[in-house]
């Protein structure tokens, strides 16, 4: 099938490469000329495990191409995916500006009957707006589809290739048939393709992210309570997670959720509720609990080093909002760094993937280390912010030797409290006893 994907960010690039890998002819378009120039040379704008070989192979074999001409991309397609950003506007609602710009061009340049798929996360009712934009100049019939994306950065290729489910909001048998066809290779193991109306598909995406964010904020609050009351959240997590009604996933406390999706989607959902007179009190609380949680690591650093942090040096492991990605949007590290810098702390940070993005955001306000051990040199404490695999089993004797004093503040509960005690490390984590 001839497919075009508009927007080659975290979502669009993964979608385009995976569709090409399954034999489709895919044209990916973006207005960012530099991105497209680099992609043509197989230089990826993002860090996403497993993506580079897919881009390289499919480009080489002629199934994947990149262009800045949306006109060419639209003209060549039977199915066009809109995968541009939907950042929050000033009022918290998702900004549809880019989506609608693309919809206008689809109407202008289409040369045959086609399916117009919204892959971007958009509020309920957006498909109608997309349809109205396309219709303004369309000379051929078109069929709308809302196909929200559930991939996780860091596992995006795997998630797209083997999804738990595919959600398709359609309103015509044509769109249903074509989209079933597009996704058939990805659900051969029997995972469901859930066909529904468009509004429900749009809502499903927000409800999924709202639920996941709720679990995180809930567990963060339980962990904070454990801290105060002498309980250990590790036991509590396992104790509740083994209940099949609850399950084990998304119960790990941490320094607050970040990334490009949860913060903006929770905001947009609250805004949607407000706009139609349905207060979403649970989600409002989820959001304020998360804002509070982003300050928890600073409080832990104060517990470890004393109230006055002026002149201290901190080694920071992890800048990305989570492991497996270079994405720094709304990362907990940014809140921590801003507060520590304000208090006169100097920082040396390491991240295996996000250092370049951090440099673009923070410049030389902090130092950057080539290795995680190098970051420790002369620091008063190590703060672990992101749960990269390489931080899970460090050489603790080396860590102790490099630090000025053996202090670790662990925002991801990576280390065993008892082991830290035995090693003589002063250790503070989230919702567990200190050592
Ligand atoms: N990142 C995720 O993990 C994830 C997961 C699921 C859904 N989503 C949703 O998918 C959408 C895209 O997210 P992302 O993280 O890939 O965003 P991104 O910011 O990484 O990429 C968006 C891309 O769209 C391009 N673009 C903007 N306007 C354009 C236009 N008019 N024409 C062509 N290209 C244009 C930008 O240059 C950029 O390359 C958002 O709605 C997001 O909420 C993201």
To test the pocket of ligand 1, the residue of 12, 105, 150, 201 to mutate (highest count of ligand atoms within 8 Å of its CB) is: 12
Residue 148 in this model has a pLDDT that exceeds 90: yes
Cα–Cα distance between 372 and 7 in angstroms, integer? 34
Q: How far is the CA of 89 from the centre of ligand 1 (A)?
A: 15
Residue 150 in this model has a pLDDT that exceeds 90: yes
To test the pocket of ligand 1, the residue of 85, 118, 153, 330 to mutate (highest count of ligand atoms within 8 Å of its CB) is: 85
Residue 93 in this model has a pLDDT that exceeds 90: no
Residue 280 in this model has a pLDDT that exceeds 90: yes
Q: How far is the CA of 6 from the centre of ligand 1 (A)?
A: 9
Instruction: Check if 153 has its Cβ closer than 6 Å to any atom of ligand 1.
Output: yes
Residues labelled as active-site residues: 261
Question: Residue 203 — pLDDT band, cuts 50, 70, 90?
Answer: very high
pLDDT tens for each residue of 49-89: 999 999 999 999 999 999 999 999 999 999 999 999 999 88
Question: Residue 94 — pLDDT band, cuts 50, 70, 90?
Answer: confident
Residue 91 in this model has a pLDDT that exceeds 90: no
b or e along 398-429 (b: 16 or more beta carbons within 10 Å of the residue's beta carbon)?
ebbebbeebbbbbbbbbbebeebeebebbbbb
Cβ contacts of residue 90 below 8 Å, gap of 6+? none
Q: What percent of the chain has pLDDT over 70?
A: 100
Q: Give the residue from 390, 356, 389 showing the smallest Cα distance to 373.
A: 390
Q: How far is CA 369 from CA 101, 280, 328, 349, 354, in A?
A: 41, 43, 17, 6, 12
pLDDT value of position 419: 97
pLDDT value of position 338: 98
pLDDT tens for each residue of 182-196: 999 999 999 999 999
| 219 HSE (CA, 13 A, CB side) | 30
């Amino acid at each position: 099938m001839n497919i075009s994907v508009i927007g080659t960010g975290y979502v669009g690039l993964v979608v385009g490469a995976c569709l090409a890998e399954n034999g489709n002819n895919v044209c990916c378009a973006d207005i960012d000329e530099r991105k497209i120039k680099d992609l043509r040379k197989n230089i990826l704008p993002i860090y996403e495990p497993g993506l580079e070989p897919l881009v390289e192979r499919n480009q080489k074999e002629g199934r994947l191409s990149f262009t800045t001409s949306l006109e060419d991309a639209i003209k060549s397609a039977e199915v066009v995916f809109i995968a541009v950003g939907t950042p929050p506007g000033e009022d918290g609602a998702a900004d549809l500006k880019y989506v609608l710009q693309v919809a206008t061009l689809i109407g202008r340049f289409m040369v045959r009957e086609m399916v117009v798929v919204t892959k971007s996360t958009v509020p309920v009712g957006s498909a109608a707006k997309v349809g109205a934009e396309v219709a303004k100049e369309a000379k051929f019939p078109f069929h709308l589809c809302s196909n929200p994306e559930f991939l996780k950065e860091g596992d995006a290729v795997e998630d797209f290739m083997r999804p738990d489910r595919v959600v398709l909001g359609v309103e015509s048998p044509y769109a249903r048939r074509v989209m079933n066809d597009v996704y058939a290779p990805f659900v051969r193991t029997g995972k469901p393709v859930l066909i529904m109306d468009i509004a429900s598909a749009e809502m499903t995406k927000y409800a999924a992210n709202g639920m996941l964010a709720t679990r995180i904020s809930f567990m963060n609050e339980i962990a904070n309570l454990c801290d105060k009351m002498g309980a250990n959240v590790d036991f509590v997590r396992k104790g509740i997670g083994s209940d099949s009604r609850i399950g084990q996933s998304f119960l790990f406390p941490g320094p607050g959720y970040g990334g490009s999706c949860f913060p903006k989607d929770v905001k947009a959902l609250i805004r949607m509720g407000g706009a139609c007179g349905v207060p979403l009190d649970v989600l409002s609380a989820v959001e304020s609990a998360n804002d509070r949680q982003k300050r928890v690591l600073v409080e832990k650093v104060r517990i470890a080093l004393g109230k006055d942090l002026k002149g201290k040096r901190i080694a920071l492991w992890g800048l990305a909002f989570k492991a497996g990605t270079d994405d720094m949007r709304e990362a907990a590290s940014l809140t921590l760094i801003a507060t520590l810098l304000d208090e006169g702390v100097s920082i040396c940070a390491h991240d295996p993937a996000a250092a370049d993005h951090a440099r673009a955001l923070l410049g030389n306000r902090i130092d950057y280390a080539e290795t995680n051990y190098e970051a420790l040199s002369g620091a008063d404490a190590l703060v672990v912010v992101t749960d990269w695999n390489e931080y899970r089993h460090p050489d603790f004797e080396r860590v102790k030797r490099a630090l000025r004093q053996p202090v670790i503040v662990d925002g991801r509960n990576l280390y065993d409290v008892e082991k830290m005690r035995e090693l003589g490390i002063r250790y503070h984590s989230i919702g567990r006893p200190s050592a």
